[in-house]
Amino acid sequence: MPKITYVAHDGARTDVDVTEGENAMHGALFNGVDGIVGECGGALACATCHCYVDESWIAKVGGPSSQEEQDMLGIAAAEVKPNSRLGCQIVISDELDGLVVHTPDRQY
């Protein structure tokens, strides 16, 4: 089972196992990780699962997967950076085992 490390804006790290095929937002929500809200449940209708893919992983994860994701990032509460993604759009696979994502200082 792939492991993801969530790094809070204060530097606290949480490692969780995430089922392959699940997304990074659910990985956080199902494991009580602070910093990811996921208000719309992953319907690509909000930006409360905004996160920053660690620079060492951006080549593997890639940028926003659709115009809809780019549009939703436009309403994110925290600063949008080149490595910003919506956690609901990062589908976890064995290739992403060890992924590191950083949570912003706010989702609202």
Structural contact between residues 92 and 53, judged by C-beta atoms closer than 8 angstroms: no
For the chain, what percent of residues have pLDDT higher than 90? 100
* CATH number of the domain where residue 82 is located: 3.10.20.30
In a domain, 89, yes or no: yes
pLDDT band for position 13 (cuts 50, 70, 90): very high
Nearest 5°: phi and psi at 11? 95, -10
CA atoms within 13 A on the CB side of 82: 4
In a domain, 19, yes or no: yes
Q: Per DSSP, what are the bridge partners of residue 93? A: none
For the chain, what percent of residues have pLDDT higher than 70? 100
Q: Which of 31, 98, 104 is nearest to 60 (CA)?
A: 98
Query: Residue range 46-61: average pLDDT?
Result: 98
In angstroms, rounded to a whole number, what is the distance separating the alpha carbons of residues 41 and 9? 22
Q: How many domains are contained in the chain?
A: 1
pLDDT band for position 54 (cuts 50, 70, 90): very high
When the pLDDT of each residue in the chain is averaged and rounded to a whole number, the result is: 97
Give residue 3's pLDDT: 98
Q: Which amino acid is at 77?
A: A
Tens of pLDDT, residue by residue over 67-86, are 999 999 999 999 999 999 99
Domain that holds residue 34: 3-102
In angstroms, rounded to a whole number, what is the distance separating the alpha carbons of residues 19 and 12? 22
Query: Residue range 22-40: average pLDDT?
Result: 97
